[in-house]
C-alpha cells in the first residue's frame, strides 16, 4: 500500500510539477540554447547565401564550381547547411513533443525526423564537397 503522506504530496503538485523529463537536470536548457545559437548563426549566413545566389544567377556549372571551390565559400556554405538542418531538426522536435501525445508515435516520429534530417544534411554536405572539388576543364 502506498504511503498516505506521499499520495498527499503528489496531489498537491501542479501538472507542471508532475511533468516527466523536464527540469534543470534535463536537456531543456541545452535545447533552448542550441535553437537560439543556430538561429543567430543563420542570420548572417542566410544574408551571405542570398547575396551569393543572386550573384550566381545565370552562371554556368563551371562558374559555380569555381565559386564553391574557394575555401571561404566552401566553409561558409557547409556552415550554412549544417546550421540549417540542425535548426530544422530542433524545431521539428519541439513540434512533435508538443503535439504528438502517444508515447510510441512520439518516439517513432522523433527517430524518423532525426534520421531524415541527418541523411539530408549528409547528402547536402557530399554535394557541396563534390562541387567544391570538381576539376573545371
Each residue's pLDDT tens digit, 15-60: 666 565 555 555 678 889 999 999 999 999 999 999 999 999 999 9
Tell me if 3 is assigned to some domain. Answer: no
With b meaning 16 or more CB within 10 Å and e meaning fewer, what string describes 85-119?
A: bbbbbbebbeebeeeeeeeeeeeebbeebeeebee
- 89's CB contacts (< 8 A; 6+ apart) are 113, 114, 117
What percent of the chain is modeled with pLDDT above 90? 72
Residue 5 is predicted with a pLDDT of: 53
Each residue's pLDDT tens digit, 100-112: 999 899 999 999 9
Tell me if 7 is assigned to some domain. Answer: no
As for how many domains the chain has, the answer is 1
CATH of the domain at 122: 1.20.1300.10
- pLDDT band at residue 89 under the 50/70/90 scheme: very high
Tell me if 49 is assigned to some domain. Answer: yes
Strand boundaries in 9-65, DSSP class E: none
User: Domain containing 61: what range?
Assistant: 24-132
Tell me if 51 is assigned to some domain. Answer: yes
pTM: 0.78
Residue 7 is predicted with a pLDDT of: 52
Residue 1 to residues 5, 9, 18, 22, Cα–Cα distance (Å): 12, 16, 21, 28
Amino acid at each position: 500500500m502506498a504511503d498516505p503522506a506521499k499520495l498527499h504530496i503528489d496531489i498537491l503538485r501542479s501538472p507542471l510539477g508532475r511533468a516527466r523529463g523536464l527540469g534543470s537536470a534535463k536537456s531543456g536548457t541545452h535545447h533552448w540554447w542550441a535553437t537560439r545559437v543556430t538561429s543567430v548563426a543563420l542570420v548572417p549566413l542566410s544574408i551571405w547565401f542570398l547575396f551569393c545566389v543572386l550573384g550566381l544567377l545565370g552562371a554556368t556549372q563551371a562558374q559555380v564550381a569555381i565559386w564553391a571551390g574557394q575555401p571561404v565559400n566552401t566553409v561558409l556554405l557547409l556552415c550554412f547547411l549544417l546550421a540549417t538542418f540542425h535548426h530544422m531538426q530542433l524545431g521539428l522536435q519541439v513540434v512533435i513533443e508538443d503535439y504528438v501525445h502517444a508515447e510510441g508515435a512520439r518516439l517513432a516520429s522523433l527517430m524518423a525526423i532525426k534520421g531524415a534530417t541527418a541523411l539530408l544534411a549528409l547528402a547536402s554536405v557530399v554535394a557541396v564537397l563534390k562541387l567544391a572539388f570538381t576539376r573545371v576543364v
